[in-house]
Amino acid sequence: MKLSIAILSSILLACSVTVANPVLDSSTTSTATTTSSAYPSATETSGPDLTKLFDPYSVYMSDCYPIDFDGITLIESLAEGVHKLEKLSRYIDTKRETISEQKKVVGELMQEIDQLRKTHSGRRSEMKELKFTLGAKLEDLRRNKRHLRRSIKEYSDTNQQNVRTRAMLGEYFAKHHSVGSTNSDGTINTEPYPGFTKCFDYFYYRLPQ
């Protein structure tokens, strides 16, 4: 009987020690920390700090200080919009150059076909080949023109969205940092706010260049 009591006491003691200071491996630490409703004790430092996890400065970067989460979100949106606008601008310029070259080729083919018709010196097979080539070039030209129109429309829409985002940022800075936050024309004056530039660069330069 005494032996049984001693064994039972040992088991209870072991249980009390385990509950008071459980030892968790890496696979269970995050789960236990997430599901626990109590604050971690001073000795429990291995689990993630949830106060930092959901702090916008920790999620994004400390360089955004003193800009808060709302401002960070607007800056991220603006950085993505500016990046998209620049890519569209390069694409439009390239597409215009391509279209210009294609127009020259089409013009040369049409002149060659017209010359063959006038002189009657071209063989029927040669004329047929030239017309086939001209048709293919015209189709490529029409396709590139469609792409260009869509890109110009997308550029316009993106630019308008960027204007709205800049206006919202202007309102944000005017509300939270009223001194020197905007220029006389309503554009953002970023110089007094180093956090703005750092935030913008963070989001901008992590995008595919």
pLDDT, tens digit, for every residue of 1-34?
443 434 334 433 444 433 333 333 333 333 333 3
Supply the pLDDT for residue 179: 54
Residue ranges of the chain with per-residue pLDDT less than 70: 1-61, 120-122, 177-194
Supply the pLDDT for residue 4: 41
Amino acid present at 52? K
Enter the tokens of residue 151.
């890109």
CA dist 134 and 207 (Å) reads 40
CA dist 143 and 99 (Å) reads 10
Enter the tokens of residue 78.
């603006």
Supply the pLDDT for residue 61: 62
Q: First CA to last CA across the chain, in angstroms?
A: 78
Where along the chain do its domains lie? 68-178
pLDDT in tens, 46-56: 554 544 444 55
What is the Cα gyration radius of the chain? 34
Answer whether 88's CB lies under 8 Å from 154's CB.
Answer: yes
Supply the pLDDT for residue 158: 98
Element (H, E) at 80: helix 69-119
CA dist 71 and 169 (Å) reads 7
Q: Establish whether the linkage from the previous residue to 22 is cis, with ω within 30° of 0.
A: no
Supply the pLDDT for residue 34: 39
Read off φ and ψ for residue 51, nearest 5 degrees: -65, -35
Supply the pLDDT for residue 44: 45
